[in-house]
Amino acid sequence: MGEINRPKVNYRLVNEADFPIIMDMYTQLNSFFYEVGYRLPRPENVGQVWLDTFRRTLGRFSNVYIAEIDQKVVGFMLCRVKRVPAYMGGVLVGELSDMWIAEEARRLGIGDKLSRLALDWLRQQGVHSVEIQVLRDNDASWKLYDRMGFKLEFRVGRLLWDEYIEEKPA
Ligand SMILES: CC(C)(COP(=O)(O)OP(=O)(O)OC[C@H]1O[C@@H](n2cnc3c(N)ncnc32)[C@H](O)[C@@H]1OP(=O)(O)O)[C@@H](O)C(=O)NCCC(=O)NCCS
């Protein structure tokens, strides 16, 4: 889309009035996870449970950036700061934790901009590096982060009991 047709997007930090909409967006994101490789159980009331994991640390160990068009929220990015254990260097590490862009607002550069706002804040917190986790089949998300310079470091596997092979194959 040419620059000239792009709607004006406003970026800002979250406030309490946004909580219902970001909980709803996280619920949509959580449903999407199962389409791209997620195999954990589906919790009840997932938006509220998710919000409760960071709402009291906002501005200190976490932040949510909001994108809006015509005063309507069209996306968010949650980032967090954590300290890795001493045996892993004991450093502060940032995490781009969750992002959702409403379907009608995709491919406008909003995901890219929200990620960069989060990276700027994490850098100001003095983190050693920034992590992301991307589900196996989420190619769009991986492409976005790959362009920013993220390099693949971990592979995470999960064994469900009905897949467990008890004897070594002959
Ligand atoms: C992934 C997601 C956040 C991208 O948001 P977005 O605002 O559309 O992304 P941007 O417009 O900033 O795209 C930046 C670049 O990422 C890549 N990209 C984004 N979406 C893509 C897609 N569907 N297919 C291929 N590449 C894609 C492109 O390189 C793109 O640049 P370009 O448009 O100039 O080609 C959005 O598609 C989304 O909300 N998806 C569902 C939830 C999700 O995957 N969240 C992230 C994991 S928690």
pLDDT in tens, 150-164: 999 999 999 999 999
- Phi, psi (rounded to 5 degrees) for 21: -70, -40
Domains for the chain: give ranges and CATH numbers: 11-150 (3.40.630.30)
From residue 147, give the alpha-carbon distance in Å to each of 94, 103, 116, 119, 127.
18, 21, 12, 14, 21
Q: Are 38 and 137 in contact (CB under 8 A)?
A: no
What would the pLDDT profile of 70-108 be if each residue is shown by its tens digit?
999 999 999 999 999 999 999 999 999 999 999 999 999
Cα–ligand 1 centroid distance for 46 (angstroms): 23
- Closest protein CA for atom 5 of ligand 1: 111
12 lines ligand 1 (CB under 6 A): no
Task: Tell me the pLDDT tens digit for each residue of 108-137.
Answer: 999 999 999 999 999 999 999 999 999 999
Interatomic CA distance for residues 134 and 139, integer angstroms = 9
Q: Which atom of ligand 1 is nearest to the CA of 138?
A: 44
The pLDDT-based confidence of 167 (bands split at 50, 70, 90) is confident
